[in-house]
């Protein structure tokens, strides 16, 4: 009887946790201007940091989030932060190092 109870409990736990892992990342809960910590509180830690570069007057960081948390091979979204503030997010793009300067200058120009 103990084995049967333990097996049911284990199966139930696995079913509940596997459903939570298939949950989509809710990008509607984040807003432009949020800090990296606020974004992490809302949608969790990024799968990886795609890029980071220090400039004379600030820092650019690009975070990557999969659409499905348990499936990092699903559609990826990149979040662009300048000086710890979210400036833009959207579908993953092909990224080359020269793009650092393009994004950084785009957002710095908008702030002046």
CB 50 within 8 A of CB 62: yes
pTM, rounded to two decimals: 0.68
d(CA 30, CA 37): 11
Q: Is residue 73 part of a domain?
A: yes
Mean pLDDT to the nearest integer, 15-21: 53
Residue at 77 is within a domain: yes
What is the count of structural domains for the chain?
1
Which pLDDT does position 69 carry in this prediction?
67
3 part of a folded domain: no
For the cut 90, the answer to whether the pLDDT of residue 11 exceeds it is: no
Backbone dihedral region of 94: left (phi > 0), alpha (psi from -120 to 50 degrees) or beta?
Answer: beta
Under the banding of pLDDT at 50, 70 and 90, the label for residue 83 is very high
Pairing of strands 58-68, 48-55: antiparallel
What gap in Å lies between CA 47 and CA 104, rounded to an integer? 22
> pLDDT tens digit string along 25-79?
888 999 999 999 999 999 999 999 988 999 888 899 999 999 886 665 678 899 9
pLDDT, position 109: 59
Q: Which domain CATH number covers 77?
A: 3.30.1450.10
Report pLDDT for 82: 93
* Sign of the dihedral defined by the CA atoms of residues 8, 11, 14, 17, in that order: negative
Let me know if residue 45 belongs to a domain: yes
Look up the domain containing 66 and give its range: 23-110
* Max intra-chain CA distance, the chain: 71
Beta bridge partners of 49: 63
In a domain, 13, yes or no: no
């Amino acid at each position: 009887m103990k084995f049967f109870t333990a097996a049911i409990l284990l199966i139930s736990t696995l079913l509940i946790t596997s459903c939570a892992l298939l949950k989509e990342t809710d990008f509607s809960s984040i807003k432009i201007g949020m800090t990296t910590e606020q974004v992490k509180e809302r949608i969790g830690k990024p799968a990886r940091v795609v890029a980071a570069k220090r400039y004379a007057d600030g820092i650019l960081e690009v975070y990557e989030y999969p659409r499905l948390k348990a499936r990092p091979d699903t559609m990826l979204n990149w979040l662009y932060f300048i000086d710890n503030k979210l400036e833009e997010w959207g579908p993953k793009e092909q990224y080359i190092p020269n793009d650092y300067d393009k994004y950084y200058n785009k957002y710095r120009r908008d702030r002046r």
